[in-house]
Amino acid sequence: MGAVGALLIAVGAAAGCDGDATPDEGGGDPGPTGRLEQRGSPEASPSPANPERRIDLLRARDAALEEFPNGVVYDVELEEDSHRWTVEVSAEGAEHALAVDARSGDVSELEADMPDGPDADLAGLSARSLDTAVRVALDDSGGSEATEASLDKENGRRVWKIEVDDGRTVAVDTETGEVVATDS
């Protein structure tokens, strides 16, 4: 190996040394980026409620954000009959409706389905608020899977309304993670 080969190895090693950003190192928040590793992967874990379905609500959201990394998801709905999730995203100054295959995670844009936009303001919405809302809704209801999530307003508060496979809808405050209301 010559001097050029050694230089290339040294440059390659140095480039990979500082790649991980963590809050402790001042590199910012390493939270959800919208990039899915499992897209179309057979290793994706099946839904507890439906072993045939491999993509859950949060993975469908992530698949949509892979297409629009700077977007904000405000509605996710499972359409059982077509085995797909419909995900509405605000990105690039427009609203987009995407279909995410519930088995493979493949994403396509629904051109005929133009979303009317979110029912609540998206400004300052935490990327983790939907993750928290799904967890809280499942804990509160005792259900095994979230089948729909929509951003809404409830008593003046911005909430995620999470529909669960047990037929309940749980409204979870986007800021506090507190259950605001439960409907059967």
Q: Where are the domains of the chain?
A: 30-118, 119-184
Give me the torsion for CA of 98, 103, 106, 107, rounded to 10°: 0
pLDDT at 28: 36
Helix, strand, coil % in the chain, rounded to nearest 5: 25, 30, 45
Say how far apart CA 169 and CA 167 lie, in whole Å: 7
Residue pair 146/78 in contact (Cβ under 8 Å)? The answer is no
Outline where DSSP puts E strands in 49-168.
72-79, 84-91, 94-101, 107-109, 146-154, 157-164
Q: Each residue of 34-79: pLDDT tens digit?
A: 333 333 333 344 445 555 668 999 999 999 999 999 999 999 999 9
> Could you tell me the pTM of the whole model?
0.71
Considering the four listed CATH numbers 1.20.140.10, 3.20.10.10, 3.30.420.40, 3.10.450.40, the one that applies to the domain covering 119-184 is: 3.10.450.40
Say how far apart CA 4 and CA 171 lie, in whole Å: 61
In which residue ranges of the chain is pLDDT below 50?
1-47
As a CATH number, domain 30-118 is 3.10.450.40
> φ and ψ at 163, to 5 degrees?
-90, 135
pLDDT at 80: 86
